[in-house]
Chains A and B, each alone.
Chain A
Amino acid sequence: MAELSEQAEFSGQAGLSGQAGLSGQAGLSGQAGLAGPAAGSRLLDGLRAYRLIAGMWIRSTMAYRASFVMTTFGNFVSSGLDFVAILLMFSRVDALGGYPLPEIALLYGLSNAAFGLADLAIGSMDRLGRRVRDGTLDILLVRPAPVLAQVAADRFALRRLGRVIQGSLVLGWALTRLDVDWTPLKLLLMPVTVVSGCGIFCAVFVAGAAFQFWAQDASEVQNAFTYGGTTLLQYPPTVFGKELVRGVTFILPLAFVNWLPALYVLGRPYPLDLPRWTAFTPPLVAVVCCALAGAAWRVGLRSYRSTGN
């Protein structure tokens, strides 16, 4: 009974102080916490928070304009240098693992464009460990926005466009030089591959960040999979050992980022005798990876909130 009257009194006060509008909105975002139909609104909330925070970081970088121009250029050049290394190799040999230069450029372009996009979008998630250590994660937890979106947008760095541009240029060059019978299906496969690859790398970033709830200094491990992974994918599977190829196909499915679709377009044999249709599975693989990474994130965040630091 006392509880009831208290509730009534409370809502009366809220109305008085003019917070009716606010609590209406709060109710909306509160429902987002429940599973089901509200999941969509939660996603929208997350995207909105991501955009707001990324915008703040862009403005922050623009406070140092000259530095921004130089680091973007630096990013472009440094990501371009490993392609220069490939070019140098081809001045000595005609093929690498049986693949001529335009075919290697296709692998390189697809992998770098996909990774570049993921790196641009959420590449700073590996800073989560630092936030856990110095306690600044708590600041994100008291804001009315999903933590994942806030962490994903953390330190958003537009300079990472450098790698996306560089990867796209190489990809464009490769597409004009390849000796391939282009069909609409093969053409369509190219953008689909880049987007799916981006999704797979994003999942690796999120899963890596989730791992940092437990091991705060694990960002180097994550880099091995992301930066290391993209370098690996610049070369055809034929130059690697079977065990490694098996690992990046079935355990950490990086092979779906570019190898399988590219080998389909090139009409080359797949590694591990995989069936031809696997070239069209990257979107599915990306969705599954993202779902798993999302689950890992939730477990990690729950663990943080129950153990603190």
Chain B
Amino acid sequence: MAVDGAGGTDGVGGMDGAGGGFIEVDRVEKVFEVRRKTGFLRRERRQVRAVDGISFGVARGEMVGYIGPNGAGKSTTIKMLTGILTPSGGRLRVAGIDPSRERTRLAQRIGVVFGQRTTLWWDLPLIDSYRLMHRMYRIPDARYRANLDRCVELLELGALLDVPVRQLSLGQRMRGDIAAALLHDPEVLYLDEPTIGLDVVSKAKVRGFLRDLNAERGTTVLLTTHDLQDIEQLCSRVMVIDHGRLVYDGPLAGLHEAGESERTLVVDLERELPPIELPSARVVRVEGPRQWLAFPAGESAAALVARIAAEYPLVDLSVREPDIEAVIGRMYAEKAVS
């Protein structure tokens, strides 16, 4: 580790502000060669730059949201940070370790949760998967027990320990997966879409737990998500990646500003009416008795709903949060104008 540090002074120099230190990513690239059939035997080779020269630093104890549209390079970055993929260029360090060179050593110090792929054993009681972690990570007995007890309590797993994983709901399984990733006291936790497909209650539990984990243990957390609420409730800092490049790195509020995001209020009226006219919102779409109104994300929906309810025959309504794709789309539109 000391050798790594001594040889790598250039990395810190290239880092821009934002903490730096625990996770260091310096002009990292990942180029894939995609082969496509263009004829019976003829193939065309094309290079795809999944990650195109990204630099950032994450300090110990930070909680960072990493967002971007599908195929933007999020997963590729996570895979390089966990040592699954080797970068094509640039310099990368996690806790002073080069992930791709010392994969197994790094594995002892990081926890990874893939939202869509479980590490748990399908046909075995949940506790069996934890016992495997205990032995595979060579966790000292006392520490294993303490960590397990803590996770069981905070993630409400007590009643589930003896239940085969295949019988768990998606939310229960996700909580089980998070516990599995934390038994060896990782210093950094990577979460890939930790709330995908979860119901509101499960999402709240997962978020609450992650917040506490970060606050009490100082665990560094890096999470990718499509759910802006994850970021709102958890992360003080958000990084946006698009087309393999970091297009934003800063607080979430700044992202909303940069993207001027809007929420959408969908109202069902009793009958077909001309578009609703209000100063604080504009109608973006009308379909029979249903109308879509856009209003600034920063403003309360309550006042708007109250006015509509008072002036129009309102039957039903729902509010849609801006999705990340929309926010990023607007960021680009903004850039093009200015």
Which applies to chain A's interface (DSSP): helix, strand, loop or mixed? helix
B96 engages A144 (CB within 8 Å):
no
State the A residues within 8 Å of B (CB).
Answer: 2-4, 6-7, 10-11, 13-14, 17-19, 21-23, 25-27, 29-30, 32-33, 45, 49, 52-53, 56, 59-60, 63-64, 134-136, 138-139, 141-146, 302, 305-308
Q: A26-B108, A306-B86 are in contact. Are A63 and B96 (CB under 8 A)?
A: no
Residues of A within 8 A of B108 (CB): 22-23, 25-26, 29, 144
Q: Does B14 contact A (CB under 8 A)?
A: no
B268 interfacial contact with A, CB 8 Å: no
How far apart are the CA atoms of A142 and B190 in the complex, in Å?
A: 11
A142 and B110 within 8 A (CB): yes
Interface residues on B, range: 35 or more
Does the CB pair B5–A145 fall under 8 Å?
Answer: no
Are the C-beta atoms of A60 and B121 separated by less than 8 Å? yes
Contact A60 B123, beta carbon cutoff 8 Å: yes
Least distance between B284 CB and chain A CB atoms (Å): 37
Pick from A32, A139, A307: contact of B104, CB under 8 Å: A32
- Chain A residues contacting B83 (CB-CB under 8 Å) are 141-142
User: Which one of A2, A56, A142 has the highest number of Cβ atoms from chain B below 10 Å of its Cβ?
Assistant: A142
In the complex, which residues of chain B have a beta carbon less than 8 angstroms from the beta carbon of A32? 104
A2 & B117 in contact (Cβ 8 Å cutoff): no
Given contacts A22-B108, A138-B79, contact A3 B5 (CB under 8 A): yes
Partner of A7, one of B2, B118, B137: B2
Tell me the complex Cα distance, A29–B184, Å. Answer: 15
Known contacts A7-B5, A13-B60, A21-B140; A141 and B105 CB within 8 A of each other: no
- For window 60-116 of B, CB contacts with A under 8 Å fall at 60, 76, 79, 82-86, 88, 95-96, 100-105, 107-110, 112, 114, 116
Residue B251 lies at the interface, judged by CB distance under 8 Å to chain A: no
For residue B12, CB closer than 8 A to chain A, the reply is yes
Q: Does B21 contact A (CB under 8 A)?
A: yes
Interchain CB contact under 8 A, A144 and B128: no
**B112 CB contacts on chain A under 8 angstroms:** 142
A138 x B84 contact (CB < 8 A): yes
**A299 vs B22: C-alpha distance when bound (angstroms):** 31
Q: Please provide the chain B residues from 1 to 52 with a CB less than 8 Å away from any CB of chain A in the complex.
A: 1-2, 5-6, 8-9, 12, 21-22, 32-33
